[in-house]
Amino acid sequence: MKRLDEFRIFYNHTIHPELMRMEQRRRSLLSLIFISLVLLTGLIIFELYINILVITLLAMIPISLYVTWLFYQAQRFRQLFKPNVVRLILDFLDDSMNYGELSYDGKRTLTKAQFLASRIFPTAAPIYQGEDYIAGAIGNMRFELSEILVQDFSRVNQKIKTVFKGIFLHSRFTFELKGSILILPRDQRQYLSRSVRAFTQSGGQNIDHRMYDAQYLDRFMTYATNKADIANLLSLEMQRLIVDYCIKSRKQVYLSFIDQNINIFLVEEDDFLEPYLFRPNVSFELVEDFFEDIQLVLAMIEDFDRYY
């Protein structure tokens, strides 16, 4: 893993100049918005003053089109900012030993089918959205991840409720495995009864009695089918690594091993690296947060590659 002091040097030489270029673009956009608001306000006041309905209605057409264009420019700034910065961060990360080339696609996401196959969240996921797709390889293991938002309709009042919002990472072991394992946050137990029931009805059972790390048991519930290779996949060392990862990320973590597939879910309420429009984005802390989140996620794949 790359150290933070190394990243700070890279930030100063490579990312900061890009942020300054984007900052100039942001300021120009703000100036345009401010001037437009002044002119549009004056135009609306003039229309109200002359009080001619036909002219007012006709003027609303170009005004509406212009306001739509302004919103488009603001959205385009956001769409350009994130890919430019993310690709620079990934360029830094994939220079690490054992890393393959990392790629980024802001509009792509892991599929709903992959999400459902994880068996963690019992939902049909009628509302499934995602963005910020990153793919690559660490050692012999290929992986892909993206931000996703999964929502469903409440059984009680049919209101939309969030099932999961955060990072979804998928990878595969290079060797054949059978069976399934679910690792669920213990403090979310009251919300996971449907997940546990669906898994146990398909042959899974609780295996907390086979987990020996006290911190792991305090944080997680573990369920597995009979064919799961529990001894190798959840050794004492791996239990401690999962706990360490959870502590460092300071976020809720869900994992599942379904045959050869690895699924990791990291709850994240805020969107990654979302730029500000009305205040500067030239901030090491803004980029540092994204860097550390991504590096922590990739650290899990590093550990799986190293130990398996």
pLDDT tens per residue across span 99-113: 888 999 988 999 999
Per-residue confidence (pLDDT) for residue 52, from 0 to 100: 64
What does the alpha-carbon distance between residue 162 and residue 155 come to, in Å, rounded to a whole number? 13
Per-residue confidence (pLDDT) for residue 140, from 0 to 100: 87
Q: Which residue has the higher pLDDT, 46 or 92?
A: 92
- Is 150 within a domain? yes
Residues 125 and 40 both lie in one domain = no
pLDDT, mean of residues 200-222: 93
Whether residue 62 is predicted with pLDDT greater than 60 in this model: the reply is yes
Which of 71, 93, 115 is the last residue before a domain boundary? 93
Q: Which range marks the domain in which residue 284 is found?
A: 103-307
Per-residue confidence (pLDDT) for residue 10, from 0 to 100: 92
pLDDT, mean of residues 74-82: 83
pLDDT, mean of residues 231-260: 90
Residues 125 and 223 both lie in one domain = yes
Q: What pTM, to 2 d.p., does this model score?
A: 0.84
Per-residue confidence (pLDDT) for residue 53, from 0 to 100: 58
Q: How many domains are there within the chain?
A: 2
Residues 125 and 74 both lie in one domain = no
152: Cα within 13 Å, side-chain hemisphere: 10
Most confident of 38-52, 194-208, 280-294: 194-208
| Mean pLDDT rounded to a whole number for the chain | 87
- Is 274 within a domain? yes
Are 79 and 131 spatial neighbours (Cβ–Cβ below 8 Å)?
Answer: no
Residues 179 and 197 both lie in one domain = yes
Residues 135 and 240 both lie in one domain = yes
What does the alpha-carbon distance between residue 234 and residue 222 come to, in Å, rounded to a whole number? 10
Which of 33, 59, 93 is the last residue before a domain boundary? 93
Residue type, 45: I
Residues 77 and 121 both lie in one domain = no
- Tokens (6 digits) for 14: 């490579």
Q: How confident is the model at residue 60 (pLDDT cuts 50, 70, 90)?
A: low
Residues 218 and 262 both lie in one domain = yes
CA distances from 105 to 44, 55, 108 (A): 42, 46, 6
- Is 211 within a domain? yes
- Is 98 within a domain? no
Which of 73, 93, 113 is the last residue before a domain boundary? 93
Residues 88 and 130 both lie in one domain = no
Residues 27 and 176 both lie in one domain = no
- Is 218 within a domain? yes
Residues 113 and 89 both lie in one domain = no
Q: How confident is the model at residue 250 (pLDDT cuts 50, 70, 90)?
A: confident
pLDDT, mean of residues 117-144: 93
Q: How confident is the model at residue 183 (pLDDT cuts 50, 70, 90)?
A: very high
pLDDT, mean of residues 135-157: 90
Residues 126 and 21 both lie in one domain = no
Are 115 and 141 spatial neighbours (Cβ–Cβ below 8 Å)?
Answer: no
Rounded to the nearest 10 degrees, what angle do helices 53-93 and 16-50 cross at? Answer: 170
Residues 138 and 236 both lie in one domain = yes
